[in-house]
């Protein structure tokens, strides 16, 4: 299988993570991008816990964390000064091996992914644009244009990771319904001085404006985001100096250098479908939404992981092609729900109605500090934005429930037991927290499914797991099949129905190892 079977259009974080996963499991691909090189602006900066869990599977989590900033505090301001300070630190302790908020600018993020891809023997083909695509029974044909001329690529599958203006989506004729918020925003990367550190996030809310400040790239450099004042919204030539006085006053900073500035409008759209035959949409090509909660880039990376393991299973003969139907049925409902949620939150924050102005002038400055005093509220916020609660319970691959853990849920992380270590295999695996039966051991030896037996602990109980229950875990760390007893026959039927091509290698992780 040396000829590239997958063409990935778009080398942003979504396309790069898809490529890295395929590289790890030995699936040939090509990765193209119409740009001359990686992006220059910091753009998305939040890296959520679920993304870091995926990155651990790919062996890059430690590098991302080392280059980013862990956020220790959230500070709420008004023009008089700091109203409240909320500790973050390890706010998600017990939920994830990465219980913190991390910032890492997208351009540096992309370069790290490109470096890791290069180390795996692959490169991005820059200045290469997809112009047309056609599908047939056995594959996809795409015409690519580069400085060297035009060529025709043929292969099994095409993945459109090429952004909100996706040529792949346009080539398919897939609808992209949604809208655009009226309020224009500014974004700037600046060097600034203030009464904070690179481990703080600050927010200023008032009736007619808001400003947010995030650490980015290096100590002393910050990302500023905010509403453009009403009296400046018609300016096409808007510069940061036009905003400087108000921004410095409300954020409590003194900006010493502006590295990058832009005005933009926020869109909220979701494609009608994420799969059309042998062509898939992922990342901004399939969904764009408000920056509320730092979800956009992380959702695209989640798309990439979900699609990558399924493409690999099909192309390596380990699963029936019908497995690929589950990509659309799992990721599309999540994207729609996410856009709807961020839309409501964002509208409440930036809207021009009397109610939203009251939320900005009263709700956030005075009620939010009261809420954030409670650790339970901060933990709930972590669960909401970290993407650790994403579930595919209603998807076609989910079968069973044991206690509070449903098939389709992300495998609960057990503090003190490194039950995420085997996920680096990028394979299906069975987890038992207790003692596997002889029948289950015999089954795994014969079928080739990895068996991971962990000791039963109080931490496992607190995570929602049940002693001696059977959890079949997918390559992306979500549970496919769950039973309170180690029912080998039902497990066999599940695998036969979902994966008809046979399973990978045999490995057993002994209890306590």
Distance CA 56, CA 51 (A): 9
The residue among 381 and 404 whose pLDDT is bigger is 404
User: Is residue 77 pLDDT above 90, yes or no?
Assistant: no
Give strand pairing partners of 481: 399, 472
- Phi and psi torsions of 222, nearest 5°: -140, 150
Distance CA 213, CA 293 (A): 14
Give the model's pLDDT for residue 362: 62
Tokens describing residue 145 = 């244009």
> Model confidence over 14-48: pLDDT tens digits?
999 999 999 999 999 999 999 999 877 657 889 99
The residue among 160 and 509 whose pLDDT is bigger is 160
Give the model's pLDDT for residue 201: 87
What contacts 370, CB < 8 A, 6 or more positions away?
none
> Model confidence over 186-237: pLDDT tens digits?
889 999 987 777 888 888 876 567 788 888 888 888 889 888 888 888 888 9
Average pLDDT over residues 256-272: 90
Give the model's pLDDT for residue 447: 84
Strands 200-206 and 73-78, sheet pairing: parallel
CA angle at 376 for the pair 223 and 299, rounded to the nearest 5°: 45
Give the model's pLDDT for residue 360: 60
Distance CA 463, CA 440 (A): 23
Average pLDDT over residues 277-305: 91
Give the model's pLDDT for residue 512: 44
The residue among 80 and 243 whose pLDDT is bigger is 243
Give the model's pLDDT for residue 20: 98
CA torsion through residues 39, 163, 261, 107, sign: negative
Distance CA 171, CA 159 (A): 12
Confidence of residue 503 (pLDDT cuts 50, 70, 90): very low
pLDDT, averaged across the chain: 89
Give the model's pLDDT for residue 356: 65
Give strand pairing partners of 135: 140
Average pLDDT over residues 365-372: 66
- Which domains does the chain show, CATH number per domain? 6-38+106-177+269-346 (3.50.50.60), 401-509 (3.40.30.120)
Tokens describing residue 493 = 């039927």
Closest CA to 54 of 292, 234, 303, 320: 303
What is the percent of the chain with per-residue pLDDT over 70, rounded to a whole number? 89
What is the percent of the chain with per-residue pLDDT over 90, rounded to a whole number? 62
User: Is residue 433 pLDDT above 70, yes or no?
Assistant: yes
For the chain, the farthest-separated pair of C-alpha atoms sits apart, in whole angstroms, at 74
Tokens describing residue 91 = 């706010």
Average pLDDT over residues 438-461: 93
Contact call for residues 61 and 52 (beta carbons, < 8 A): yes
Give the model's pLDDT for residue 41: 63
Average pLDDT over residues 446-457: 91
Give the model's pLDDT for residue 409: 98
Taking the C-alpha atoms of 499, 503, 504 and 507 in order, what is their torsion angle to the nearest 10 degrees? 130
Closest CA to 436 of 473, 470, 478: 470
User: Is residue 510 pLDDT above 70, yes or no?
Assistant: no
Angle between helices 375-386 and 49-58 (to 10 degrees): 50
Give the model's pLDDT for residue 368: 67
Residue with tokens 């068996």: 451
Contact call for residues 255 and 244 (beta carbons, < 8 A): yes
Angle between helices 438-447 and 488-498 (to 10 degrees): 20
User: Is residue 184 pLDDT above 80, yes or no?
Assistant: yes
The residue among 293 and 429 whose pLDDT is bigger is 429
> Model confidence over 303-341: pLDDT tens digits?
999 999 999 999 999 999 999 999 999 999 999 998 888
> Model confidence over 53-73: pLDDT tens digits?
999 999 999 999 999 999 988
pTM of the entire predicted model: 0.92
Beta strands in 96-247 (DSSP E): 101-103, 129-136, 139-146, 149-155, 157-160, 178-180, 185-194, 200-206, 209-215, 221-227
The residue among 10 and 497 whose pLDDT is bigger is 10
Strands 279-281 and 157-160, sheet pairing: parallel
Count of CB atoms situated within 10 Å of the CB of 178: 15
């Amino acid at each position: 299988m040396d000829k590239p079977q997958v063409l990935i259009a778009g080398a942003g974080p979504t396309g790069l993570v898809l490529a890295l996963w395929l590289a790890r499991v030995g699936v040939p691909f090509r990765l193209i991008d119409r740009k001359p090189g990686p992006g220059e602006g910091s753009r998305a900066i939040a890296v959520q816990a679920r993304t870091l869990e995926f990155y651990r599977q790919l062996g890059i989590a430690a590098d991302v964390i080392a280059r980013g900033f862990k956020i220790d505090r959230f500070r709420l301001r008004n023009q008089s000064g700091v109203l409240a300070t909320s500790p973050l630190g390890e706010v998600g302790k017990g939920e994830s091996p990465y219980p913190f908020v991390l910032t890492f600018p997208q351009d540096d993020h992309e370069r790290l992914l490109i470096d890791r891809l290069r180390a795996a023997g692959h490169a991005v083909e820059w200045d290469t644009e997809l112009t047309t695509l056609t599908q047939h029974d056995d594959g996809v044909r795409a015409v690519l244009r580069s400085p060297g001329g035009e060529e025709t690529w043929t292969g099994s599958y095409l993945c459109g990771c090429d952004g909100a203006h996706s040529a792949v989506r346009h080539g398919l004729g897939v609808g992209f319904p949604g809208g655009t918020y009226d309020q224009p925003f500014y974004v700037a990367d600046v060097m600034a001085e203030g009464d904070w550190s690179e481990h703080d996030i600050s927010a200023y809310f008032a009736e007619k404006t808001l400003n947010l400040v995030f650490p980015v790239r290096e100590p002393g450099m910050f990302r500023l985001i905010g509403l453009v004042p009403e009296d400046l919204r018609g300016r096409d030539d808007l510069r940061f100096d036009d905003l400087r006085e108000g921004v410095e006053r409300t954020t409590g900073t003194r900006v010493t250098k502006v590295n990058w500035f832009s005005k933009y409008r926020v869109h909220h759209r979701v494609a009608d479908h994420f799969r059309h035959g042998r062509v898939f949409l992922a990342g901004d090509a399939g969904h764009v939404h408000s920056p509320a909660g730092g979800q956009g880039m992380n959702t695209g990376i989640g798309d990439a992981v979900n699609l990558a393991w399924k493409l690999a299973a099909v192309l390596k003969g380990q699963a029936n092609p019908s497995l690929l139907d589950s990509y659309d049925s799992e990721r599309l409902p999540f994207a729609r729900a996410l856009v709807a949620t961020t839309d409501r939150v964002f509208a409440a924050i930036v809207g021009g109605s009397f109610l939203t102005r009251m939320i900005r002038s009263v709700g956030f400055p005075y009620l939010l500090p009261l809420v954030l005093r409670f650790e339970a509220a901060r933990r709930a916020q972590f669960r909401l934005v970290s993407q650790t609660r994403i579930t595919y319970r209603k998807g076609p691959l989910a079968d069973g429930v044991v206690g509070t853990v449903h098939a389709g849920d992300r495998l609960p992380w057990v503090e003190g037991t490194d039950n995420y270590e085997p996920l680096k295999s990028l394979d299906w695996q069975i987890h038992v927290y207790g003692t596997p039966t002889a029948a289950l051991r015999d089954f795994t030896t014969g079928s080739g499914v990895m068996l991971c037996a962990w000791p039963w602990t109080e931490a496992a109980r607190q995570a929602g797991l049940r002693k001696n229950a059977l959890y079949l875990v997918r390559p992306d760390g979500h549970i496919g099949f769950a039973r309170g007893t180690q029912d080998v026959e039902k497990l066999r039927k599940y695998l036969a129905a979902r994966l008809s091509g046979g399973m990978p290698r045999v490995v057993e992780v002994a209890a306590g190892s």
